[in-house]
Amino acid sequence: MESIDRLNRAIHYIEENLHENIDYAEISKITLSPISAFQRFFVLTTGMALSEYIRRRKLSRATDDLLQTDDKIIDIAVKYGYNSADAFSIAFKREYKISPSVVRQNQVKPEPFHRLFYSLSIKYIKGDVKMKTISNNRVLLDGGLGHNYGLPDCIKFLLECVGWGDKPDFWDIAAITGDTVAQIYNRNLSTGCEYCVSGYLAGSEYIKYIFDVLGYNHEYVSEKEFNADNGRYIRKIVEMIDRDIPVLVKTNLNNMPDWNSDVGTYCLLVGYDHGGQVVKLYFQGFDENQTSHIDCVLSGENKMDLILLGEKQREVTLDELYVKAMQKMAHWLTLPEQDGKYFGAAAFRAWADDIDAGRFEDENLPLWENYGVYVANLATNGGGVPTHIIKNLIEMNQAYQHLLPIYERIQKIMSFGWENHGDGKCNIWNSLDDLESGMNMDDVKTTMRDKEKRSKVASVLRDYAKRIDQVVEILNENVRML
């Protein structure tokens, strides 16, 4: 069959170029298929990623060179794509449990990894193969409840899977992550990302802080580490899913062809089949135009970091979590600008400056992605500064009654002079709506083309920035009381 022949021609091309850079575009031409489709087919038919096959074949060839030639080990390393003898030695020892120098000195031949050959075979099997998934299948990112941030809801989901109850809830965790504390604003052109603190600060140090507060160990596996040892981490994923615990993933889902959403920094890995070579990524919303989950092939070229939940380090009480959240509020509200991204009061000021400068007059600027999302951010946050954390502390523990005046002062600052519409919206959201600069982008487009109208909008944002500054002063003055 011609299709089988093309598969074997692709394998032949790989074999002929193991000492060169293998061109995936050439494989795509040979097989008459997109390289992503071939990689998926390869995983499903061989049980390993294409990149892993190539790596193991190179090491097998390198073994032959060690035994059959006098070439220096560094020259063999470079021949098969390694930058140094050390890098080659590490990879070789990981594969064969023996070093290249010992193989050469003792003329020991490790078990070879043979080349692949496709042939047609048909057999019948009983039953169907089903993906192994965790039992918890509740909805993530329930917009109807205001759960608009991926990381807090993914962490809440994780905690549920290891036996935590209703508390801490989404809002408690979102205060710990800083998402409901600090307004954000990005001066860079945006087409889709996670519009919140956890989206902008995503990375190992940030995640470490969150899990330390929650009292858990974790393992953070970077994209580079994952791809360097794909098989090992696939086994860890399988172990987690078999224990009914999802794996937290930091990625950019917008890079994945099957994904259809304007957000995508965090999701959960909740299932696998084919021994973990294919996994299910889960990020559920109610919008029928957005993806709830995708099946992803772990090809060894994965664009994702893994966060594997570890053992509990210590018991953490709810009031301890609230204290940690309150202690960190001033930090989130005063984060420095990072590559055009602003936080807290600085975010409101940068946003106001761009409004005055006429940035949003540009007809070619995607208005929702570069303006509307920041209204959605402040709406979700209730304007920022989650005072419910302070209120909860006061109500649940008599030891924190001394925080009542602080709570009242902050409440007064955030509401003084604002008209309360009684519709559940925060004051600044109502003010923007009154100025036709809220979430209706048709209204915003008209307002931003009127210099006088948009000046009023900028003035509202600057006034709110001053209020945030006052709150930060109060928090810094009184944090020692905790």
Is residue 438 pLDDT above 50, yes or no?
Answer: yes
For the ranges 163-167, 447-451, 462-466, the lowest mean pLDDT is seen at 163-167
Write down the pLDDT at residue 424: 64
Measured from the Cβ of residue 203, the count of other Cβ atoms closer than 10 Å reads: 12
Task: Examine the pLDDT at 317 and tell me if it is beyond 70.
Answer: yes
Q: Is 116:63 a contact under the CB 8 Å cutoff? A: no
Which 3 state secondary structure label does DSSP give 470? helix
**Mean pLDDT for the stretch of residues 248-274:** 72
> pTM surpassing 0.95?
no
Highest mean pLDDT among 147-156, 247-256, 382-391: 147-156
Q: Is the pLDDT of residue 297 over 80?
A: no
Is residue 143's pLDDT more than 80?
Answer: no
Mapping DSSP to helix (H, G, I), strand (E, B) and coil, where does residue 66 land?
helix
Q: At 66, list the tokens.
A: 């060690």
pLDDT band at 360 (very low <50, low <70, confident <90, very high): very high
pLDDT in tens, 19-32: 888 999 999 899 88
DSSP one-letter code for 400: G
pLDDT at 289: 47
Q: State the DSSP string of 160-227.
A: HHTT--S-S-HHHHHHHTTTTT--EEE-S--SS---SHHHHS-SHHHHHHHHHHHTEEEEEE-HHHHH
Mean pLDDT, all residues of the chain: 86
* pLDDT higher at 240 or 277: 240
Which of 31-40, 156-165, 438-447 bottoms out in mean pLDDT, i.e. has the lowest?
31-40
Amino acid identity at 223 = E
Among 390, 367, 373, smallest CA distance to 443 is for: 367
Assign 416 a pLDDT band (cuts: 50, 70, 90): low
- The conformation of residue 369, written as its DSSP 8-state character, comes to I
Listed residue (140, 62, 46, 44) closest to 99, CA to CA: 62
Q: Does 255 have pLDDT greater than 60?
A: no
Query: Could you tell me the domains of the chain?
Result: 2-106 (1.10.10.60), 132-312 (3.90.70.10), 319-481 (no CATH)
